[in-house]
Amino acid sequence: MSGFLALLTREMRLSLRHGADTVAALLFFLLTAMLFPLAIGPEPETLGRLAPGIVWVCALLAALLPLDRLFGADWEDGSLDHLLLSGQTSAAIAGAKALSHWLVTGLPLLIAAAPLAIMLRMPEAAIPALLAGLLPGTLLLSLLGATGAAIVLGARRGGVLLPLLVLPLAMPVLIFGVGAADAAATGLESRPHLLLLAAMLAAAVPLCPLASGAALRGAAE
The arithmetic mean of pLDDT across residues 25-49, rounded, is: 87
Which helix (H) or strand (E) segment holds residue 213: the answer is helix 191-220
Q: How far apart are CA 160 and CA 163, in angstroms?
A: 6
Element (DSSP H or E) covering residue 21? helix 19-40
Backbone angles phi, psi at 89, to 5 degrees: -70, 155
Q: What is the DSSP letter of 12?
A: H
Q: Is the dihedral of CA 216, 217, 218, 221 positive or negative?
A: positive
Confidence at residue 158, expressed as pLDDT on a 0 to 100 scale: 64
The whole-angstrom separation of Cα 204 and Cα 221 is 25
Helices (H), 41-119: 44-64, 72-77, 79-84, 90-101, 107-119
The 10s digit of each residue's pLDDT in 83-111 is 777 777 888 888 888 888 898 888 999 99
Torsions phi, psi of 218, nearest 5? -65, -40
Residue 57 has pLDDT above 70, yes or no: yes
Q: What is the predicted pLDDT for the residue at 1?
A: 64
pLDDT band at 180 (very low <50, low <70, confident <90, very high): very high
**Residues 149/163, Cβ–Cβ less than 8 Å:** no
CB 112 within 8 A of CB 29: yes
What is residue 15's predicted lDDT score, i.e. its pLDDT?
Answer: 74
pLDDT in tens, 128-179: 999 999 999 999 999 999 898 888 886 676 667 888 888 999 999 999 999 9
